[in-house]
Amino acid sequence: MDKIIFVGDSDSALGFRLAGVAEAHSVSTSEEAEQAVQSVLRRNDVGIMVLTQEAMRTLSPKTRRLIRDVAKPVVIEVPGKRDTSSQSESLAAMVKKAIGVELK
């Protein structure tokens, strides 16, 4: 079974761990985010990678292009600690955009 992995700020990582996501990478710098994402993208056992919007913004253009072009893992961008939810899509909308399936 493919894993779900989270990459983002420490508070959000704690929330994902409490929700049952076994592997949550807490990153606080662009270098840490880049390293964590590159590591996850090299793995074959990951089905979904959840990234905070802040972590996504810090990634290099090359890594963002790679995320956009890979079929697996599916990458879902979610609001993090510093992102405002009023400016963000709902999680259901983000999942639909990422995998093309509407959650009900």
pTM of the model: 0.78
The label of the residue with tokens 């959000």 reads: 12
- Topology of domain 3-99 in CATH is Rossmann fold (3.40.50)
The contacts of residue 76 (CB under 8 Å, 6+ apart) are 48, 49, 50, 51, 91, 94, 95, 98
9-59 confidence digits (pLDDT tens): 999 999 999 988 989 999 999 999 999 999 999 999 999 999 999 999 999
In this prediction, residue 91 has a pLDDT band, given cuts at 50, 70 and 90, of: low
Q: Which two tokens stand for residue 100?
A: 């093309």
Q: How far apart are CA 103 and CA 93, in angstroms?
A: 8
Q: What pLDDT is recorded for position 80?
A: 82
Q: Which two tokens stand for residue 99?
A: 């995998």
Q: Give the residue extent of every domain in the chain.
A: 3-99
Which spans in 1-104 are helix H? 10-18, 30-41, 53-58, 61-69, 91-99
- Pairing status of strand 23-26 against strand 74-78: unpaired
Q: What pLDDT is recorded for position 58?
A: 95
